[in-house]
Structure 1
Amino acid sequence: MRATSTEAALGFSRHRGWDFGDYPYSMEPLTLPHPPEPVTLAPGSLSPAAEDAVTRFLAEAREGFGTTDPIDAASLERLFWFRWIIGHHVSFVIWRLIADALADVHRGTGDQDAAAVRLTEYVRAYCGMLLYTGSSTREIYQRTIRPSMYRQHDKFSGTWAPDYPGVRSLFRGRRPPPVVPHRTAELLREIALTNQIHLGVASKLVDQGRSLLQAAVLEGNIASHRSWGAVFDCYFLTLRAPVARKEVTAQLLRRQKAVAIDLATNGLYPDVGDALDPVPDELRDPAVTECEKDLIPALVRTAALAAGRAPDTVTGSGGGPPTGTGTDDGTGPGAPAAR
């Protein structure tokens, strides 16, 4: 029996190659539970069928996910719109994983070294997603993406994301979370890298690096409204429902696979026509270049950790990001990518 569209969107990938949406670079809605319900998985908590699906995903990642139809100059807008939406989807799930890891750290229960490794790996993966969502050309961003947010609301901001409050303290806090001491430095490096990448992407895409919300703050035209989270979810094709944790994991893996195939096909910055923009200084740093190389491996490590794999079996070195295949108003560096 053919799976319904809902079952397909909430299930694990069943085929090699591109199987996200109806065709390459198309969309699927993301379904997440209402915050603060957690989404992480304890080892052994997946069903046997789901465990098999995760094992197949990781095996396919080792072999390479393959490629799909490459983008030409006429299709660049479709590619960057796909990256904008799907990259944010992956970021939303990563934020939930970060929030759960933070809760483990603050409770001080369980394996605290493993909790610190998970937290650092999730932040590393988020660095990659900032690069991915921000890979659009300035011309397409200014012509298509930014106006689409303005049409939803003239103060549209990533800080409206319902999942963001759970990670705000990590990216805005002046004190690091109480991870085991020997893990603090590497975690702080990754947090600093998110801020640097966010500034670089803003410099690359946005006039004077200002988001719609920042512009409204400068104009003194800002007030909180309870509907903003719903507006944000609607724009990013995100639904809220009591979905099972395995379904959240499946949705994450489906998107990570699509991202990996896209990058294997087109590269992070497609060299198509006049697509390449000048690279801001913040994105020329060797740490950013290393993050670009580590983008797909970091996503695969995150997938394994989110599925309940032990950190020492995922990172290979017991932690850290090995390579392989702000301001009080919430608008400064480290804020979500939506601008």
Structure 2
Amino acid sequence: MWEKFYSKNGLAAKKIAKLFLQLDEKEKIPRVSDYCEILSIGRGTVQNALRLLEEMKAIKLEARGHLGTFLVWKDKGMLLEISGFAPLIGSLPLPYSRKYEGLATGMVDAFETSGSRVNLIYMRGGVNRIEALRTKRCDYAVVSKMTADAMLDKYSNLIIMERLGSKSYVSAHKIFLADEEKTQVIDGMRVGVDRESLDQMHLTSLEFATKNVTYIDVNYMQLFEKLQANEIDATIWNVDEKKISQTFKSISFESEEALRVSKDTSEAVIVIDSEREEEIKDKWASVTKEQILIVQKSVENGEIIPHY
């Protein structure tokens, strides 16, 4: 069926699909002669194009005699796809916690509710997600506000399209200790740091700036195993990852600067390329952050099974 869109009738259907996106359900559609004039095509081509859109179940029309033809319903997602408006691609953190699963589920649900779709990819490290945005492998990237601010200083074409509010990215960061008898990080300890996680690396450098510790490079997905094997003595990570928070003792930051910065690491923001601002915002027009956050909270509370 999709091969038909490469025909003369199919190309006309693509153009008419764009026009249907501007019509509301139950609304009277233009006459065939109107489409002929607008698109400079023949009556037969218009009629075949409308028939093709109905066969694809992108629209359902109802002829009402002298009253004209009305749009009974439309599949906005299908019309967007036929028109050549591909779904947005968003880059999100790896969904290892209920909060991140909720964020992904919230985005999927919000777009589906609006009648459109979004495709999500998952990448470790906010810097990597920003790089995916810069190299056009995605249309938007979800990172912490702290990472966004750092990247916006470096790349002037990037902007924050939406802020999702405090604790939308992580609930909090804490220091986790391998030895439960310890009450603080002391000189000589080995501290795990993931240099691809700008948040974790920055918080680590601030918190232990006055300590004589050894930094051990660790992929954050291995922090639990490294603590358990006593290959590191301490690390900073978020409390949303239940395995690490339920197994190891955690303590709060001592550094006032680390505490201040941690507020920006708790908020999720959506970063886009400013050159595509109008296009991206148009596709987000019927999606609100409130929809996303409600679903995120429901997933965190176990009220909704995550699906993304």
Q: TM-score, normalised by structure 2?
A: 0.26
Structure 1 or 2: more helix by fraction? 1
Structure 1 or 2: more strand by fraction? 2
Higher relative contact order (CA 8 A, sep 6+): 1
